[in-house]
Structure 1
């Protein structure tokens, strides 16, 4: 894979990595707030493994909200770890975000496709909503993958610097 040298054609991959981690923290906090502020009857959770009554019990006890909140708290933790890694120039601290990022991208693709297909197959006229979800979700996925490539490029740069050692670096990088 070819490494990126710049983020958005003007900033370094280091700056892009910091911006990505800040965006991850902000979006996680906003999502936690929305999940707990929105009335639970407006959001429908379904497991697809159990019957509808079990899904209603899970929703009644706020189990999906709690699981989502715990996941988002871990996302905040990993994004904070990414900011520390950029500041200290440690590649092994960036690795959890890199791994989580690609797993989340796969999950996002599956979620967007599943949601849009479900709306398309619904008996009512939800084709416009399904199309908006599909196009918006794929656009968001492309943006997310670009930011992941920025972070991964910076991770590779830092890892290469660590492997070279302090005295083998170029004089302007010491």
Structure 2
């Protein structure tokens, strides 16, 4: 993979990585607030393994909200770790974010495809409802792929900075080019 030199054609990968980490923290905090402020009946939850009764019991106990909140707290922790890694120039501290980022991109792709295919094959009562399902499925697919592209670009910015820092660590402090000291 070719390394990126700039983030969004104007900032360095270091600055872009810091902005991405702060953005990750802000969005995670906003998601936690939204998850706990939205009424419970507006959140849909299916396990696909157990029956609908079990799903309703889990939803009544706020289990999906708790799981999502724990995941978002770990995201905040990893983003803080990324900020520290950029400031201290330590590649091994960036590695959790890099690994989590690519795993989340793959999971997001699977989720977008599953959701859009589910709407495409869902049975409709009439022709108008079928049209609405197809429009919704197409919108989810197009917007989801667009979101994945942006996410993978941001991951590539962080990964490029990770590779730069790792190479710098391998060269050693005194073997760097004079203009990089």
TM-score tier by shorter-chain length is over 0.9
Look up the SS of the partner of 1:15 in the other structure. Answer: helix
Does 2:45 correspond to 1:74? no
Q: Identify unmatched segments of 5+ residues in structure 1.
A: none
Distance 1:29 1:130 in 2: 29
Structure 1 residue 23 displacement after superposition: 1.2
Q: Which residue of 1 aligns with 2:28?
A: 28
How many matched pairs?
A: 174
1:134 aligns with 2:134: no
Establish whether residue 121 from structure 1 lines up as the match of residue 128 from structure 2: no
Q: Does 1:154 align with 2:161?
A: yes
Q: Which runs of 4+ in 1 moved over 2 A?
A: none
- TM score, norm. by length of structure 1: 0.97
Quote the Cα distance in structure 1 between the aligned partners of 2:99 and 2:87: 19
Give the Cα–Cα distance (whole angstroms) in 1 for the partners of residues 27 and 147 of structure 2.
13
**Partner SS state of residue 40, structure 2:** coil
Q: TM-score, normalised by structure 2?
A: 0.94
Q: Tell me the secondary structure at the aligned position of residue 41 of structure 1.
A: helix
Counterpart position of 1:173: 180
Aligned-partner SS, 1:137:
helix
Larger Rg: 2
CA distance in 1, matches of 2:26, 2:145: 21
- RMSD of the alignment, in Å? 0.9
- C-alpha distance in 1, partners of 2:20/2:155? 8
Is residue 18 of structure 1 aligned with residue 18 of structure 2?
A: yes
